[in-house]
Structure 1
Amino acid sequence: MARPLHHIPSLGAGLLARCAQDPTGIIALERSGDRYVATKAADFAARVRRRASGLLQLGLGTGDRVLLMARNAMDWAIMDFAILSIGAVTVPVYPNFGQRELHYILGDCAPSCLLLQDDSVYARMAPQAWGIAAERIFLRGSGSGEHSELRSWTDLEHLGEMLNPARFQERLAGVERANLATIVYTSGTTGWPKGVMLNHGNILSNIEGFLSYVPLRAGQRVLSVLPLSHVFERGTSHFGAYLLGLEVAYAERPETLLRDMAAAHPEIVIAVPRVFQLLHQRLRRNLMERRGWTGHLLRRGLGLEKGRVLPGQRALARRLVVDKLRRQLGGKLRYFVSGGAPLEPAIAAFFLDLGLPIVEGYGMTEASPVIAANPLDAIHPGSVGRFLPNLEGRVAEDGEILVRGPSIMMGYWNNPSATAEALDAGWLHTGDIGELDAEGYLHITDRKKDLIVNAGGENIPPQKIEMRLMADPYIEQAVVFGDRLPYLVALVYPQWDLVHEKLGSEPGERDVQRLLRQHIDAALADLPAFEQVRRFALLPEACNEVDGTLTPTLKIRRRQVAERYAELLTSLERDSVSRPGDRAY
């Protein structure tokens, strides 16, 4: 960086300073066929300026909201920095957001301009429902058919070429840390989304804070996987990476992660726990299927099989597995970063032991987003790490985690009552329950509002149970319930590939019941009786974004699951033993 972060007045100024420092250096890479194509910093900066100038030509002013609704791409990053450079406010929205939530957001933030992925996104609502004139709607691709009047993002650049460059520089110079930068609507698991207001200083101070624990350095390459509309990805792989001189490679989509890692050769991958869970299951499965003496050597060396371990066998097994895994993941991987949901401690310990550490952190949109993180050189599996050094954090008497500091939000857009509830004398009430250990590491136990209170008055954190269940290779998803019940119940979606491999292509229902019962009991074996899942039912399909039971960052929406499968849950809650046909076990 040309200057330390604390001297940077705004996000746009920081990006352009980085580009000016090394104009011929690589700043971003995108997949083209079977390889990645690089973009130089000077070209990236020029496009930011042209698009920002185009927005000025449209008449956008400081504080005007711009709704950005598109898939991950370098184009998305350029557009975000263009908006921020002129003092306008980016409102990022997932491209697959439901029509009901989208309509609410449009009414709440009243955007002055819409930047959409394509005309299929625009066609999801009637033209009048968008509430904005067609000349202020731009598509990443050109409009077609009945939407041919809509212009493209490239047209916005051409519009910017007509602006005097001095006007852009004047506007950029007027943007300060206190300026509102973005309104991020929390996808949430209940109720209407709330618009979290973050200013330039909030985001810059958060980057400064997490750098103490997660070393991001110029020239490193990070693979961007998660939706850029999510504050975790945007704060780390986007703002953090671009301002600190890293190279950002874009995964084509989450499903192609392993293929994209092999082609992009990243040193850092930032993702949610589900990604590491799937990688762990795949690696473990390959090891268990390995035949002959090599298989025994590897499994015993990694503690996956009982038996005598010879001197040096452990180190040899680790080296053989890690060398092959690194090659498959691009050859340069140094570490992972995990956030957005709890990571199973056993998975964190497994990769740490292999020499591929997962830096687990904790945060929320309202904190820009990182609150705590494990230092790379002092990872404690099962913990989310220490509070960032530029934040104050404490655990209240009722166990709720409270935090305050320069990265805490300005408040909720158009929602003073929710702001007053969340912020008290500068302290953000996170709604999460946790505890600090003797070394100052934070452990999250559950969401305050998600705690199950059973018929016996026991407080049970469902996420702890769910995390254990989903760590089992035979269970892909699990959602636990039990309020006012004498026992816990669960809705389970199996890992059907493994079930079929074990029981055949058309297993009997009772066979599936017995198999999953064994794995559920084993996963929870050391927990007290009131934390055991006594009854469960199979979900007919996996929770997903389309039906609203999963957020874009793969978090379960508990209320939506309960509503969608109310009849199934009712069958589990009956005192009588379920009949074979109701799939409750």
Structure 2
Amino acid sequence: MFSFNTLPELLHYIKSSTDNPTYLSYLENSSWHHFSSQEFAVYVERLAAAFAHHGVKKGTSVAIVSASSPFWLMIDFALQRLGAVSVPIFANISHENLHYELKDSAIEYAFIASQEKYDQLEKSLKNMKLIVTLGITPHLDNVIDFDLFLNNTYALPAVDVSPEDVATIIYTSGSTGKPKGVELTHKNLISQIKDVQLAIPITSDEVALSFLPLAHIFERMVVSYYLANGISIYFADDVKNVGNLIKELRPTVMTVVPRLLEKIYTKMHDTIYTLNGIKGLIGQGALHRANTKDVHTPLNTLDKLAQQLVYSKLVEALGGRMQYMISGGAALSPAMERFFVNIGIPLYQGYGLSETSPVVCVNTPDAYRFGSCGKKLSSVEVKLTAEGELLVKGPNVMRGYHNRVEETAKTIQNGWLHTGDLAYIDDEGYIFIKSRLKELFKTSTGKYVSAIAIEHHLTHSKWVDYAIIVAENRPYVTALIFLDPTMSSESFEHYCSEPKTTERIQQLIGQVNKHLNAWEQIQKHILIQTLPTIDNHMLTPSMKISRNTVYAYFADEIEAMYHTPSTNLGE
């Protein structure tokens, strides 16, 4: 069990207990560059000394505006060494929210490794005390290059950092209204590392590929856990390059999001279905088995044959050494979980929130149940309200929302954080998330509709990028469909209006409706020809669709679907 209780103590542990020459690696000009664990610790202390020299002290908020990289981590740990507060900013955040977050957290110092964001912020940056930049061309006097900032001989001050001190402010996606700043303490973050060590122990021999943003608390916590265990971490240069990097690096562990799994799933199926003759028949039969077999039933002779002839090649496409993948950030569909587990890739779904640092529960090698989010972490308490809402209590629960006392009081009552998620807990303690309280819609006929479940059915198709269900206080269910623009080389508008596209989506909805109760079935739909983006606010920085923004954006189109009664109300 780890003995450190703050992030500075974790840094000391890394310095004294790890010795990994490829601790942190990144791509530059198609070549890998490595930092050893000792270099990481030394550079963090140099950066901390430089920040202190320029006025950063305990409690100072400093923005990190950068894609994920070893430099991101160095800056963050340097700030933690001083008891400062790091404020990560998503690289793809909208201009409006970027300015809001900097103002809300009273930023006077920043690390920026994005020319685009630097240019957007240049007017605001003029009034800041110091900007540390990496790989960009600045035009201000209060800017210093990262390498120059690093190479200093300043003294590193002693700072007393308490587990109760705020370590970071994480701004939530802001799917409704302005983003909320979640204040997480050293205690919050360290409790996660210790709990995950008990749940999913790893050794320093593991190799991790990281491609999710460190600005998201899920990846940040996991990477902190990797750092504590001294494993080799490789940062992807581009999410589009992840497939190639998996084959090159052959990672043993990865954190993933369901959307990536869906892309991999589709590519594997498309590859198999291009095969002809006996190979095609065997491949398609194996895929059918992987898509339908109960994951908890023992392997039979045909399963073992499929493993040898088909699944082993699919596993090799994921590097061939993958011990497991952890899925988070969004709900994992049963179809994705069933497929990957059946082909021999353990896939462990967890559940959490930014407000819980983030993990509440997770499946593990020793405690796995299909369809669940696993059992709670050891230091976490959970219970359900009479309505079935999941409540969480423990050292992982945030201190509160930054500058939002009333909202904090509504969210945390008597120490229990209200997650807003409906769940049930089975007799063995496995937690199953059913839906968001706000995403269980009640139609005007009094029937309840789980929007998320239906949307998952739709986005399981390779043709659909996003889907939004409309049902609250409506006589029947309708859908807004966002097609995947990468599935056609034609203009997106032409692609959406093609008869074959319309027919394809109509068939998909027909298939989805077969699995739904009559009142849940989609009666009408619209193919949306406007791509959702961060800038138009239909996508959050974590690439989730913003339901309320979409509703507002297409209010007229939604009303048109209810202007005339549906011919089949599904009652």
Same fold (TM over 0.5): yes
Letter in 1 for 2:184: L
Kept after mapping to 2: 8 A contact 1:119/1:139: no
Asked if residue 138 in structure 1 is aligned to residue 132 in structure 2, the reply is yes
Match of 2:247, SS? Answer: helix
Match of 1:49 among 42, 45, 50: 45
**How far apart, in 1, do the equivalents of 2:382 and 2:532 lie?**
34
Deviation at 1:574, TM superposition (A): 1.7
**How far apart, in 1, do the equivalents of 2:77 and 2:430 lie?**
35
Deviation at 1:494, TM superposition (A): 3.2
**How far apart, in 2, do the equivalents of 1:59 and 1:558 lie?**
42
Match of 1:315 in 2: 304
Deviation at 1:289, TM superposition (A): 2.2
Deviation at 1:65, TM superposition (A): 0.7
Letter in 1 for 2:59: G
Task: Note closer, same or farther for the CA distance 1:314–1:123 as it changes in structure 2 (3 Å cut).
Answer: same
Match of 1:583 in 2: none
Q: TM-score, normalised by structure 1?
A: 0.90
Kept after mapping to 2: 8 A contact 1:48/1:78: yes
**How far apart, in 2, do the equivalents of 1:531 and 1:163 lie?**
65
**How far apart, in 2, do the equivalents of 1:512 and 1:40 lie?**
51
Asked if residue 373 in structure 1 is aligned to residue 373 in structure 2, the reply is no
Which stretch has the larger CA shift, 100-109 or 269-278? 100-109
Letter in 2 for 1:132: N
1:307-456 aligned at under 5 Å gives the runs 312-456=301-445
Give RMSD over aligned pairs. Answer: 2.4
Match of 1:271 in 2: 256
Match of 2:166 among 180, 186, 194: 180
Match of 1:581 in 2: none
Asked if residue 465 in structure 1 is aligned to residue 454 in structure 2, the reply is yes
Deviation at 1:421, TM superposition (A): 0.4
Stretches of structure 1 that go unaligned for 5 or more consecutive residues are 579-585
Deviation at 1:329, TM superposition (A): 2.5
1:14-53 aligned at under 5 Å gives the runs 14-53=10-49
Kept after mapping to 1: 8 A contact 2:65/2:91: yes
Task: Note closer, same or farther for the CA distance 1:52–1:30 as it changes in structure 2 (3 Å cut).
Answer: same
**How far apart, in 2, do the equivalents of 1:413 and 1:400 lie?**
24
Kept after mapping to 1: 8 A contact 2:27/2:235: yes
Asked if residue 108 in structure 1 is aligned to residue 107 in structure 2, the reply is no
- After superposition, give the CA deviation of every residue in 1:202-247 in whole Å (9 maximum; x if it has no partner): 11111222333333332311111111100111111x2111122121
Match of 1:150 in 2: 143
Task: Note closer, same or farther for the CA distance 1:299–1:21 as it changes in structure 2 (3 Å cut).
Answer: same
Match of 2:204 in 1: 218
Asked if residue 252 in structure 1 is aligned to residue 237 in structure 2, the reply is yes
Task: Note closer, same or farther for the CA distance 1:497–1:419 as it changes in structure 2 (3 Å cut).
Answer: closer
Kept after mapping to 1: 8 A contact 2:290/2:339: no
Task: Note closer, same or farther for the CA distance 1:240–1:438 as it changes in structure 2 (3 Å cut).
Answer: same
Q: TM-score, normalised by structure 2?
A: 0.92
Task: Note closer, same or farther for the CA distance 1:424–1:486 as it changes in structure 2 (3 Å cut).
Answer: same
Match of 1:74 in 2: 70
Stretches of structure 2 that go unaligned for 5 or more consecutive residues are 292-298
Letter in 2 for 1:75: F
Letter in 1 for 2:398: M
Match of 2:294 in 1: none
Match of 2:209, SS? Answer: strand
Letter in 1 for 2:135: G
Deviation at 1:148, TM superposition (A): 6.7
Match of 1:163 in 2: 154
Deviation at 1:351, TM superposition (A): 0.7
Letter in 1 for 2:384: V
Match of 1:248, SS? Answer: strand
Deviation at 1:103, TM superposition (A): 2.1
Match of 2:23, SS? Answer: strand
**How far apart, in 2, do the equivalents of 1:311 and 1:370 lie?**
35
**How far apart, in 1, do the equivalents of 2:219 and 2:284 lie?**
35
**Identical amino acids, percent of aligned pairs:** 28
Task: Note closer, same or farther for the CA distance 1:197–1:271 as it changes in structure 2 (3 Å cut).
Answer: same
**How far apart, in 2, do the equivalents of 1:223 and 1:570 lie?**
45
Kept after mapping to 2: 8 A contact 1:302/1:318: no
Match of 2:190 in 1: 204
Letter in 2 for 1:398: E
Asked if residue 190 in structure 1 is aligned to residue 176 in structure 2, the reply is yes
Kept after mapping to 2: 8 A contact 1:404/1:427: yes
- After superposition, give the CA deviation of every residue in 1:457-510 in whole Å (9 maximum; x if it has no partner): 222221111011111233332111112211111111234666899xxx979744
